[in-house]
Amino acid sequence: MTVRRVAAGRGSYSVYVDRGLISRAGEVLRDLLSSPHVVVVTNPTVARLYLEPLRASLRRAGLEPRVVEIPDGEEYKTLSWAGFVWEQCAAAALPRDGAIVALGGGVVGDLAGFVAAGYMRGIAWVDVPTTLLAQVDSSIGGKVAVNLPQGKNLVGAFHPPLAVLSDLDALQTLSYREWQSGLAEVIKAAILGDEELTALMARESAAVRRRDPDVLAEVISRAVAVKASIVEADERETGPRMLLNLGHTVGHALEALAGYGSLRHGEAVAIGMEVAAILAEARGMLAREDGAAIHRLLKAYGLPVYHEGVDIGELWPFMERDKKKQGGRIRFVLPQRLGEAVVVQDVTREEVAAAWQEAGRRAQENAGAGADLRGAEAVQPGPRAGGIREEAAPASSPVVRKPRWHILVLHGPNLNLLGRREPEIYGTVTLDQIDAQLAERAAALGVEVRCQQFNGEGQMVEAVQAAPAWADGIVLNPAAYTHSSVALRDALAAVRLPAVEVHLSNVAGREGFRQRSLTAPVCLGVISGLGARGYRLALEALVAYLKERGEQKKEERNT
């Protein structure tokens, strides 16, 4: 096990990197926590995989964990959801000497840490990051925050955790796209302060892509050390810590423009690093061979270097609102060489526009070129534990293209139990399998889907209310709320997004109360009795409707 101590003004803390840490969390935390009262904050996706091992470990250590779930997605890192968690902590009578444990990726860690910073004016918290991005970036440094519609992380605090437990085994269940997102932050750390990490990422690219635990232990430990050393020199972000924003000025603007959740944070940062390298080259600060090395490193791991269909006129307003702006000037972090970067404050809009255009040119010029730094074929990731579907690793993804439509798929209460819940009625298919089939069909249709499951009526209603910020349509299985939720019906009617209702079982042949649907009148139609295939048919019907409506609008414009 690797342990890196991080010095902080409000007390130092240790970052643990090892396999099996989630199931041993109680052993680590037993002597750190001063009270047995713990609230675990997580999301349904992570909970299905890791909540029980964590909870069992905490109980063996004499701790008394309560669990609060928030939806899975960046768009839920808001003041509203922070308020929900605060209310749950109060309802659980969490005392001042209690603690919050964040089990999940960066969204869970940021929000749970923010809640800990505000609850009773600040209580202890522990981060158990389950994504690569969180393990090498957001879990280190004590910055916690939530988003506003105007920008990312605009409301936050500096509130270091009591400890960070980075379990290498949790990385094996990440989707390929989530894995890529974390690799962008590893590459950022290498560019900022570790030439050996840069060399390691090039030399062991095949082992990193197949997630070899031994190689990952060194990669993650080195990335953590880079960020820890910068944070220790500048905990409150008044000077050197600004370097950690390499790629983030453009990256955060892209995230805000695209809508939080539609573009992964690491994908946006990768594009931002490409633009920063081009800016540095144009200024004569960065040798062309170093700029080319950064480009090759990003491509080697299938990361995008450009976002198609976006121009600087759209990005600039978001960059001007960036919280890193100082004295009316936008601050950029630019690399000077591999292992060294500098903060500049005089980058003009014209320079950024030229760099953006050059990034697009290079992406198109190199599209389809071999990705591996040494010319080897890309390694496909192996099977993962825990039922998470694994996408094939692309050889290269130089350009992010906007999907034509975004579809939100909402699963109601108890659907997380599929596979073992009354199989004679609902079949043996699991929720993960349904989501995987939908993702595959969506890719074939050229659309993007986001699947979420809720056991709480209020959470499902809020998801519908938030849907217009990202989605063009909704596929929903309200489950038990079909027959009882006036609030869900009203939310669907208010947002006025086209929706298709779907049910696994044949509701027309079941009990009388199940044949009544409050939500059907505000949907385009209802599909039931076809099992998992019903979801795919609902998606196809919704896409066909959107396509037809789009053609009608086009004809109206032309006439």
Catalytic residues: 121, 143, 185, 227, 237, 241, 245, 248, 252, 265
Give, in degrees to the nearest 5, the angle at Cα 214 between 212 and 216: 65
What CA–CA distance (Å, rounded) separates 182 from 252?
Answer: 15
Residues 174, 386: contact at Cβ < 8 Å? no
Pseudo-torsion of CA 387, 393, 398, 400, nearest 10°?
A: -20
Which strand (E) or helix (H) includes residue 56?
Answer: helix 52-60
Residues 133, 105: contact at Cβ < 8 Å? yes
CA distances from 290 to 243, 244, 369, 463 (A): 18, 19, 19, 44
DSSP string of 352-390, one letter each residue:
HHHHHHHHHHHHHHTTT---STTSPPPPPP---GGG---
DSSP string of 109-127, one letter each residue:
HHHHHHHHHHGGG--EEEE
What CA–CA distance (Å, rounded) separates 240 from 224?
Answer: 16
Q: Tokens 């999940």 appear where? A: 104
CA 50 to chain centre: 17
Q: Tokens 């999301």 appear where? A: 43
CA distances from 186 to 40, 132, 223, 265 (A): 27, 9, 6, 13
Which strand (E) or helix (H) includes residue 26?
Answer: helix 25-29
- For residue 28, give both structure tokens: 């680590």
Nearest to 113, CA basis, from 86, 150, 80, 94? 86
Residues 3, 15: contact at Cβ < 8 Å? yes
DSSP, collapsed to helix, strand or coil, labels residue 283 as: coil
What CA–CA distance (Å, rounded) separates 378 from 68?
Answer: 40
Count Cα atoms within 13 angstroms, Cβ side, for 408. Answer: 29
Give, in degrees to the nearest 5, the angle at Cα 94 between 91 and 95: 135
Any idea what DSSP says for residue 391?
A: P
Q: Tokens 């079941």 appear where? A: 510
- For residue 353, give both structure tokens: 């526009």
